[in-house]
Structure 1
Amino acid sequence: MNQVFFTHKWFSFRPLKLLSLFFASYFTILVIGGWSIPVFSQNTSEIRAVWLTTSDTDTIFDRPKMKEAIANLASMNFNTIYPVVWNSGYALYPSPVAQRAGIQPFVHRGFQGQEPLAELVQEAHRHRLLVLPWFEFGFMAPPTSELALNHPHWLTQAQDGSQTTSSAAGEVVWLNPFHPEVQKLITDLVMEVMNRYDIDGIQFDDHLALPVALGYDTYTRNLYRQETNENPPTDFRDAAWVRWRADKITNFVEQLNRQIKARKPNAIFSVSPNPYSTAYNSFLQDWLDWVRKDLINELVVQVYRADSSAFLREITTPEIREARQKIPVGIGILTGLGNRIKPIEFIREKALAARRERLGIAFFFYGSMWNRTPELKAERKSHFRALFPRQSHRTATNINPLPRHGI
């Protein structure tokens, strides 16, 4: 195994030589099988993660498949797993909180009678992988879900009264993120998982948000009038109206952070949003403000771009570079959806580009990494194995705890 450092032949006098050695100690390149693979220092908290979903896979609920998945990821030097626990308006674990909201248990036992999340956490920790349960749907829900049907006053709407929007999950409605009962539900679900399982943190994604066209329900209109003495603007992209709603979501993130840190100060609060411009302007998600206010511990930006130049532009934005100075930052890379599996060269190119920018990686999702792929399974797995030639374990205890905000 050859190791090539970032040094230059004209760095001959001592100060510059020492400087080059400093950088080499932080960031090196391994040449393996013709690949130039960036390698982080052992002292960094590099994100090497995978989402475990219930879409097109039963890995979470089938004990042998779950154990095989954990063993595979550990052998490839991954260090973090995001297993889904909140999807389609249902909790994917035994949840008294969901039942009190009139939501019947969707899945509460695995195929072998086990409690899936409990066993997954135990198995992952045995292999030294972090587990951050993923609240995938956030404020989003299917319109036919018990959640939406039993609590219509929790839903928000557009100016014309319509409630549904289109998403990758089909037609969905949105819980009003400003409504105290909605905030309590989400907070209680998070704290239920925090209290029940020995997890390392939690994750939300681009659904801890609200589409910019929404927010014209009666509750929000009244709240806006109460605070501003004005009616909400008819232009849903009005800058002040966008700012007011985005700040309300930020306030909720701050409250949720307080609850999490009061329970477990070293827990990792992870968020996986869209790139900043889309996140803020289209979904009222000001994640850069969350970073600046120390409200999150980890950022994984979903950059699902087919074009390489567009991908590179998105991973080198000032917002990502600023966030990287404070917390571990990773890039979400799409490995495939359903039968639309991405070629391994597509995945490898983007993974190496992210690592060259000293950014971590999270693959979406485990079921499309090497199953049902055009290439041979062994070939795909060999490429993922080569991506991380060295171990890089993370622990929740070596993530700096956030300020307790007076708690």
Structure 2
Amino acid sequence: MLKRKSWLGLCIVIGLIFALISPTISLSQSLPTKAAREIRGVWITNVDSDVLFTRDRLATAIKDLRSLNFNTIYPVAWNWGYTTYPSKVAKKIVGSSFMPKKSAGILIGRKLNKNEGLAGRDVMQELVTQGHKNGLAVIPWFEFGFMLPASTDPAGSDFAKLHPDWLTQKQDGGTIWKEGKDPRVWLNPFKPEVKKFIIDLVVEAVGKYDVDGIQFDDHFGLPSEFGYDSFTVNLYKSEHQGQVPPTDYKNEAWINWRADKITLLMRDLFKAIKATNPKAIVSISPNPQTFAKSFFLQDWAKWERQGLVEELLIQVYRDKLTTFIGELQKPEVKLASRHIPVGIGILTGVKPKPIPMQQIQSQIAAVRKEGLAGVSFFFYETLWKLTNEPAATRKDGFRQAFARSVARSSIIK
């Protein structure tokens, strides 16, 4: 997702200006009926949040969410080149079976004490056990997809160093891509060994835990300036009578060729998930379609049409309500909503820029007015902690929005 420091420049112009320029939608007019089904989710991260790093803190968070009538959690399972759960697949490829305490401390901005961290625990099992006990669906979120931290990142794994031939390149041979201030590199989704790693990682989680599904976001793709490594160039040449790829990385045919290859990978992944656990839904949380395809080669509208997506949560991190609503009314959104639950990702804040509850409530109401399947919030820590408003005020705001408990929207019966 477009997160961390890079979120700041993309989505935050808030406060009094918003109140003056945005139309008003009454929340009370849009509350669900007793028969309604609605996704009420939240992404749980291990960045700027320590909720995953002690059992008690995690259990309290889940109880709080249940008390406010949330029904879904999307806990991070894969980021910074590590899993958050004990993984034999990661151990074999990365050299570590889960994120070590040092890296976790860097991501939350402080050193973890001796009672914190992932060692000696199975956080995903805790999430599943506590989540289901409290009536919450648990859908692990493979946040980083094909993205990795650059080898210079102190919080990152040694993945990029261990498998440099797995990385793709820009035209100049460079591998670094900036997400805000953070240097990233990208695994080559067209290479068989990369495909196998991603599929094995996901299948491991779906087979090991009683999860309700899995989720990928905008990082399950590739920035369009990449794909000029020798493997991908030779693959392209083999399918185009020896012609090399266009130098214009935004060339439509070149975009489509790479996007279609990622669609094929999505098909193989979907089949592998269903072969392992037919009841696990495949959820994605991409950017709006036009940007997703041109920027990340992620043609999610095609995925949906091919039956490869069972839940869609579109990241619409916009401040101005009219702009927000415009994204909800796009034809591809309406088309997808005829086939599967389509919800909207709403920004509740990022450190250090909070989002006011008024904006959050107005966006929830807009989603309901458009007849969409629900919402998920980015991210847990900004629901009622990293905010300028009192925690009690924030909780009251969500209690008002989710006045009664409802089952989540789902394609799986």
The TM-score, its normalising length taken from structure 1, stands at: 0.86
- Judged with a 3 Å threshold, the aligned counterparts in structure 2 of structure 1 residues 264 and 140 are, in CA distance, closer, same or farther, namely same
Give 1:273-284 correspondences, 5 Å limit: 273-284=286-297
Residue equivalent to 2:74 = 82
Tell me the CA shift for residue 53 of structure 1: 0.2
Tell me the CA shift for residue 329 of structure 1: 0.7
Identity score, percent: 47
Q: Does residue 142 in structure 1 map to residue 142 in structure 2?
A: no
Identify which of 116, 129, 148 aligns with 2:123.
116
Q: Is the 8 A contact 1:45 1:328 kept in 2?
A: no
Q: Is the 8 A contact 1:108 1:115 kept in 2?
A: no
Q: Does residue 364 in structure 1 map to residue 372 in structure 2?
A: no
AA of the residue aligned to 2:295: S
Q: Is the 8 A contact 1:156 1:217 kept in 2?
A: yes
Q: Does residue 212 in structure 1 map to residue 224 in structure 2?
A: yes
Tell me the CA shift for residue 45 of structure 1: 4.4
* Structure 2 residue matching 1:166: 3-state secondary structure: strand
Q: Does residue 351 in structure 1 map to residue 364 in structure 2?
A: yes
Give, in whole Å, the separation in 2 of the partners of 1:70 and 1:345: 24
Identify which of 157, 179, 199 aligns with 1:187.
199
Identify which of 189, 201, 205 aligns with 2:213.
201
- Judged with a 3 Å threshold, the aligned counterparts in structure 2 of structure 1 residues 156 and 45 are, in CA distance, closer, same or farther, namely farther
Residue equivalent to 1:323 = 336
Gaps of 5+ in 2: 1-25, 102-114, 152-156
Residue equivalent to 1:374 = 388
Give, in whole Å, the separation in 1 of the partners of 2:99 and 2:258: 34
Give 1:168-183 correspondences, 5 Å limit: 168=180, 170-183=182-195
Give, in whole Å, the separation in 2 of the partners of 1:135 and 1:216: 25
* Structure 1 residue matching 2:283: 3-state secondary structure: strand
Tell me the CA shift for residue 281 of structure 1: 1.1
The TM-score, its normalising length taken from structure 2, stands at: 0.85
Tell me the CA shift for residue 395 of structure 1: 8.2
Give, in whole Å, the separation in 1 of the partners of 2:159 and 2:36: 41
Tell me the CA shift for residue 372 of structure 1: 3.1
Q: Is the 8 A contact 1:94 1:108 kept in 2?
A: no
AA of the residue aligned to 2:125: A
Tell me the CA shift for residue 345 of structure 1: 1.2
* Structure 2 residue matching 1:333: 3-state secondary structure: strand
Give, in whole Å, the separation in 2 of the partners of 1:289 and 1:169: 32
* Structure 1 residue matching 2:30: 3-state secondary structure: strand
Give, in whole Å, the separation in 2 of the partners of 1:95 and 1:73: 27
Identify which of 89, 108, 129 aligns with 1:97.
89
Identify which of 229, 238, 241 aligns with 1:226.
238
RMSD of aligned C-alpha atoms? Answer: 1.8
Residue equivalent to 1:38 = 30
Give 1:159-174 correspondences, 5 Å limit: 159-168=171-180, 170-174=182-186
* Structure 2 residue matching 1:231: 3-state secondary structure: coil
Q: Is the 8 A contact 2:150 2:183 kept in 1?
A: yes
* Structure 1 residue matching 2:174: 3-state secondary structure: coil
Residue equivalent to 2:165 = 153
Identify which of 42, 48, 55 aligns with 1:50.
42
AA of the residue aligned to 1:128: G
Give 1:239-258 correspondences, 5 Å limit: 239-258=252-271
Tell me the CA shift for residue 37 of structure 1: 4.2
Q: Deviations over 1:240-283 (max 9, x none)?
A: 11111000000000000000011111211000000011001111
Give, in whole Å, the separation in 1 of the partners of 2:338 and 2:143: 27
Q: Is the 8 A contact 1:37 1:387 kept in 2?
A: no
* Structure 2 residue matching 1:280: 3-state secondary structure: helix
Indicate the larger mover: 182-191 or 387-396: 387-396
Tell me the CA shift for residue 56 of structure 1: 1.1
Give, in whole Å, the separation in 1 of the partners of 2:259 and 2:125: 35
Give, in whole Å, the separation in 2 of the partners of 1:326 and 1:90: 34
* Structure 1 residue matching 2:239: 3-state secondary structure: helix
Q: Does residue 133 in structure 1 map to residue 140 in structure 2?
A: yes
Q: Is the 8 A contact 2:27 2:361 kept in 1?
A: no
* Structure 2 residue matching 1:60: 3-state secondary structure: helix
- Judged with a 3 Å threshold, the aligned counterparts in structure 2 of structure 1 residues 386 and 168 are, in CA distance, closer, same or farther, namely farther
* Structure 2 residue matching 1:301: 3-state secondary structure: strand
Q: Is the 8 A contact 2:177 2:184 kept in 1?
A: yes
Count of residue correspondences: 366
Q: Is the 8 A contact 1:156 1:216 kept in 2?
A: yes
AA of the residue aligned to 2:256: R
- Judged with a 3 Å threshold, the aligned counterparts in structure 2 of structure 1 residues 258 and 314 are, in CA distance, closer, same or farther, namely same
Give 1:12-27 correspondences, 5 Å limit: none
Residue equivalent to 1:63 = 55
Tell me the CA shift for residue 41 of structure 1: 5.3
Tell me the CA shift for residue 43 of structure 1: 5.6
Indicate the larger mover: 58-67 or 136-145: 58-67
Q: Is the 8 A contact 1:205 1:271 kept in 2?
A: yes
* Structure 2 residue matching 1:282: 3-state secondary structure: helix
- Judged with a 3 Å threshold, the aligned counterparts in structure 2 of structure 1 residues 153 and 348 are, in CA distance, closer, same or farther, namely same
Identify which of 374, 383, 401 aligns with 1:387.
401
Indicate the larger mover: 120-129 or 347-356: 347-356
Give, in whole Å, the separation in 2 of the partners of 1:254 and 1:41: 36
- Judged with a 3 Å threshold, the aligned counterparts in structure 2 of structure 1 residues 207 and 174 are, in CA distance, closer, same or farther, namely same
Give, in whole Å, the separation in 2 of the partners of 1:88 and 1:115: 18
Gaps of 5+ in 1: 1-33, 401-407
Q: Is the 8 A contact 1:46 1:392 kept in 2?
A: yes
* Structure 2 residue matching 1:305: 3-state secondary structure: coil
